[in-house]
Structure 1
Amino acid sequence: MSNQVKESISCPALFLSAPASNQGKTTITAALARYFSKQGKRVHVFKTGPDYLDPQILAQASGIAVEQLDIWMAGDAYCQHKFYEAAQVANLILVEGAMGMFDGEPSSADLAARFNIPLAIVMDVKGMAQTAAALASGMANFRDDIKVAGLIANRCGSERHAQLIRDALPENLPLLASLKRDENIVLPERHLGLVQANEVQEELEQRFEAAVDWLMQSNDNRLLELPESVTFFPAELETNEEHLGLLKGKTIAVASDAAFSFIYDANLKCLTEMGAEICFFSPLKDKVLPEADALWLPGGYPELHTQALAENQAIKKEIQNFFALGKGILAECGGLLYSLETLTDLNNHTYPMLGILAGDGAMRGKRGCQGMQTAILPSGEVRAHAHHRSRSENTPEPISFGRRQRHPAPGEAVYQVQGLVASYLHLFFPSNPVAVAAIFNRA
């Protein structure tokens, strides 16, 4: 059953991309979101790719929940629907890209081109001047299906530095902003990326306000004008009525605290649309598991809370008893580590975990694994991604391996023991609600 025919709608929109990671995209996107929010605008921000941490920061900056968009993971129609939904209520849509503009399949450029959103190139120009203009010009002309609004020169040393870049840019590629070096607006980081927003809320507020002043100090103020409007069209989404009742009457308990927070809002919406009731609990603090039919242990930072997780014997016993009943449990990445017998943290201290899955987890410092994969489950295939800096050993024989997006080597192992399905893969539930429902419907 398709949606009723609806009219297109226009909304100012800008896609912030870069030549590489670590150019300042998140800082500038957050600063823009806060600036326009302070002007009374309703700003909807999207993040390209399967990122969990940047959306937390951007949501606090804009005051509105941030969703991840990726054509491969979510599908073209899903992305189109989300843009159309946002355009109906927003005064401005901002999209933060991932990695470099043309990196990945699909890339940030692919998403921008598909929905005709103009791109702003964010570039750390420390140590170069006219070369920054050359790089920006090359990126702007690399493909003829993208439109580049201009360059944001980040970490400019002086107005003279900015002038050299400005003069070297072609007329059709303006300098949108020249932003000085300022450590007071840099966002805090750790081994998997940015620090979670709920851990540093007050500090972030100070940095957001400083970042607004930082934007306003630029001699090039085009970035503080609303970008051009983009026309968004309604998507022809197919609604399968059978999906709506797949989890009717089921209550799913979701681990949610400082150790487990890598949760897509889209996944929660998918579960509730299938009829599930959601309740949250903290493996760090709670002593009793909520009354539930199934359990979801998402990813996060259990390696930063190993001692507290190990010492909360009461909740560990509750989860172990839940597992013994054969009920459905999904454990993803950090949830997988928590499910193992032991976990060795970044300080090389080893602590006992749940022990509902044989094996031992350990952190690997800077080495890790990331990338898009398809999870091969008994109930079907689910689009997913991996991003971790740990390893697991002495685990049971996997039931399958993830299928990598662009490489023939086997991906992440998928384990199933009784009602437990565990993997390093983070699943995107809307890509296959039926397969996901089967995990949580285990009796």
Structure 2
Amino acid sequence: MSRIIILASPGSGHGKTLVTAGLAKALGGGNRRIRVYKMGPDYLDPQFIEAATGLEVRQLDYWMLGEREIAAELCRAQNEVDDIIIEGVMGLFDGEHSVARLARDYRIPVCIVADASAMAQTFGALMYGLANYDPDVNVAAVIANKVGSDRHASLLAESVRPPLTMLGSIKRDKALAVHERHLGIGAEDRSAAQHAAAAMAEQLTEIAQSLPWGKLRIEEDSLTQPEVQHEGPRLQGMRIAVAKDAVFSFIYHANMDFLQREGATVHYFSPLSDTQLPDCDALYLPGGYPELHLETLANNHAMISAIRQHIEADKPCMAECGGMLYLLESLSHDERCAPLCGIFPLRAKVNERLAGLGYQSLPGTRLRGHSFHYASIVDEPSNADELPRSAYSDGRKGELILREKRTIASFVHWYFSSEPQKICDWLSGKPEL
């Protein structure tokens, strides 16, 4: 039976991602098998933890996965690993699909990670409020982060009221300084992440022994089955080329698992450095940051030609966010502009401010995903209002969906298992919405 715990915070920016990485590293020093999850659709925090620990990080998100898939994911984990660490998102009680909801649904103990750098006794009041706000959420312990001194640590510990347990304090340390991540994880970032996680693991050695672990027990026969059954893998024998490199890195592990469960073989390639596509039946261009390597992408004429040939040969292609930008006529960023694949005769630019953010769905289906992008299309077609779009979770019009032959592209990052048949249709060359 697996041990399980949630690391949550009063809000964003309290340092729980680095604590999660450090805890995983501290626990993984022996022979224990560790599984790390991140709540929410985010790619960057999981990338940081993966870079820091070498562990695979998966998402738990009520909107994208749904209750059945979350239960199935946790059920698989309990049969595969010893310890399950779940990093929360935003504040403990924030949002309809909050961390607190997961804690309630599976009776998972919560350990609060809180930045205590600018408070003393008020720390205890804040922790008391979190622990007593919802009696069905088991807030069992707290870790004070960014503590200035032993005296500061004592004041914080004295302020925490039973039955809440103060597990310990993490001292401020330059070795724990990690720049906020707006872009992908490069080689230097990986090295910094590894050093910071190692330093954090040292501070967490004793704390890790005192965590209020819960026990996860999900009976497999209690899992509800999908409403629609199908005969056999729907992508049997298909070869799917997946872009994966320093640009195209926004890939959910669960999506790759989905493709393989449906019978496809996945072949990774790099639009940055490769000059031809793998032998493939379909192409998947995930999200990422094409603006970081714009000239290199634009100058790889052989790859651009290979992708154009694939699409013009009427073979399926699915592109998301950065992958969609790669298929446009050009992309501009920081006064630089480079021509790209030109499948869609549209231009885009990367803005300083966020251009799109939120959960998305495909109207008329159960397909779900999310968008998060700074880029925008600068010359949308005159009939853009008539073209298909995704929908925000609150009902607003979402992202433009582009189609050309058997290619379908948008700013949305889709979660494949939310609507398996639709994804299989798209990758099989049926781009109908």
TM-score class normalised by the smaller sequence: over 0.9
CA–CA distance in structure 2, aligned partners of residues 21 and 59 of structure 1: 20
| Mapped partners of 1:366, 1:130: distance in 2 | 37
1:176 paired residue among 167, 170, 176: 167
Counterpart of 1:214? Answer: 203
For residue 61 of structure 1, report the CA deviation from its aligned partner.
Answer: 4.3
Of 172, 180, 185, the match for 2:176 = 185
- 2:214 equivalent in structure 1: 229
CA distance in 2, matches of 1:421, 1:437: 13
1:161 is matched with 152
In structure 2, the residue matched to 1:392 is 377
Is 1:28 the equivalent of 2:28?
Answer: no
2:126 equivalent to 1:135: yes
Task: Report how far residue 24 of structure 1 moved.
Answer: 0.3
Label 1:419 to 1:151 Cα distance change in 2 as closer, same or farther (>3 A): same
1:203 matched to 2:192 = yes
Q: Residue type of the partner of 1:365? A: E
Q: Using the alignment, how far apart are the partners of 2:231 and 2:134 within structure 1?
A: 40
Q: Which amino acid aligns with 2:70?
A: C
CA shift, 1:268, in A, is 0.8
Distance 1:226 1:173, change over 3 A: closer
Residues in 2 aligned to 1:238 and 1:258: alpha-carbon distance in whole angstroms: 38
> Does residue 278 in structure 1 map to residue 263 in structure 2?
no
- For residues 40-439 of structure 1, the aligned pairs below 5 Å read 40-192=31-183, 195-196=184-185, 200-216=189-205, 221-235=206-220, 236-238=223-225, 242=230, 244-345=232-333, 347-376=334-363, 380-396=365-381, 397=384, 399-405=387-393, 407-439=394-426
- 1:418 maps to a residue whose letter is K
Q: Secondary structure in 1 aligned to 2:69?
A: helix
Distance in 1 (alpha carbons) for counterparts of 2:354 and 2:375: 8
Decide whether the 8 Å contact of 1:254 with 1:295 is kept in 2.
yes
What SS is found at the alignment partner of 1:151?
Answer: strand
What SS is found at the alignment partner of 2:345?
coil
Distance 1:111 1:223 in 2: 22
Q: C-alpha offsets along residues 379-399 of structure 1, whole Å, 9 cap, x if unaligned?
A: x44110011111112234364
Tell me the percent identity: 37
Instruction: Write the deviation string for residues 55-105 of structure 1: whole angstroms up to 9, x where unpaired.
Output: 223234454322101122101121112212222232211000111111222
CA-to-partner distance for each residue in 1:204-246, whole Å, 9 max, x for gaps?
3222222222324xxxx44433533323213425266526332
Give 1:3's aligned residue. none
How many angstroms apart in 1 are the aligned matches of 2:233 and 2:182?
40
Q: Structure 1 unaligned runs (5+)?
A: 1-9
SS across alignment from 1:275: coil
| Preserved contact between residue 255 and residue 281 of structure 1 (Cα < 8 Å) | yes
The answer to whether the 8 A contact 2:109-2:214 is kept is no
User: Contact (CA 8 Å) 1:44, 1:90: kept in 2 or not?
Assistant: yes
* Residues 4 and 216, structure 2, Cα contact 8 Å, conserved in 1: no
Q: Is the 8 A contact 2:26 2:208 kept in 1?
A: no
Asked if the contact 2:2–2:82 (Cα under 8 Å) also holds between the matched residues in 1, the reply is: yes
TM-score (norm 2): 0.93
Aligned partners of 1:237, 1:296: CA distance in 2, in Å?
Answer: 30
1:189 is paired with a residue whose SS is: coil
Runs of 5+ unmatched residues, structure 2: none
For these two proteins, the number of residue pairs brought into alignment is: 424
Question: Partners in 2 of 1:176 and 1:403 — Cα distance?
Answer: 44
**CA separation in 2, counterparts of 1:286 and 1:393?**
29
Letter in 2 for 1:109: A
- Indicate how the Cα distance of structure 1 residues 337 and 65 shifts in structure 2: closer, same or farther if over 3 A, else same: same
Deviation per residue, 1:87-126 (Å, 9 max, x gap): 2232211000111111222111111211111111111111
SS at match of 1:89: coil
Q: CA deviation at 1:140?
A: 1.4
Tell me the distance in 2 between the aligned counterparts of 1:133 and 1:243: 57
One-letter amino acid of the structure 2 residue matched with residue 87 of structure 1: Q
Q: Tell me if the contact between 2:44 and 2:181 (Cα under 8 Å) persists in the aligned partners.
A: no
CA contact (8 A) 1:342 1:359 kept: yes
* TM superposition score normalised by structure 1: 0.91
Equivalent residue, structure 2, for 1:7: none
CA distance in 2 between counterparts of 1:208 and 1:197 reads 16
The alpha-carbon distance between structure 1 residues 389 and 290, as it changes in their structure 2 partners (threshold 3 A), is same
The answer as to whether partners of 1:48 and 1:96 remain within 8 angstroms in 2 is: yes
Counterpart residue identity of residue 389, structure 1? Y
Contact 1:244-1:273 within 8 A present in 2 as well: no
Evaluate the alpha carbon distance shift between residue 94 and residue 243 of structure 1 in structure 2; reply closer, same or farther with a 3 A threshold.
farther
Would the aligned equivalents of 2:17 and 2:49 in 1 still touch at CA under 8 Å? yes
The residue identity in structure 2 corresponding to 1:74 is L
Q: Which amino acid counterpart does residue 233 of structure 1 have in structure 2?
A: I
- CA distance in structure 2 between the aligned counterparts of 1:371 and 1:234, rounded to whole angstroms: 33
Cα distance, 1:251–1:395 mapped onto 2, change above 3 Å: farther
Please tell me the residue identity of whatever aligns with 1:24.
G
Task: Name 1:5's counterpart in structure 2.
Answer: none
Contact 1:260/1:298 (8 A) holds in 2 = yes
Aligned position for 1:4:
none
CA distance in 2, matches of 1:255, 1:292: 12
Report the CA distance between 1:247 and its aligned residue: 1.2
Cα offset, 1:269, TM superposition = 1.1
Contact kept, 8 Å, 1:45 with 1:59, in 2: the verdict is: no
Decide whether the 8 Å contact of 2:18 with 2:196 is kept in 1: no
Corresponding residue SS for 2:107: coil
Structure 2 distance, partners of 1:46, 1:242, is: 29
Q: Does the Cα contact within 8 Å between 2:53 and 2:197 map onto a contact in 1?
A: no
- What letter matches 1:376 in structure 2? P
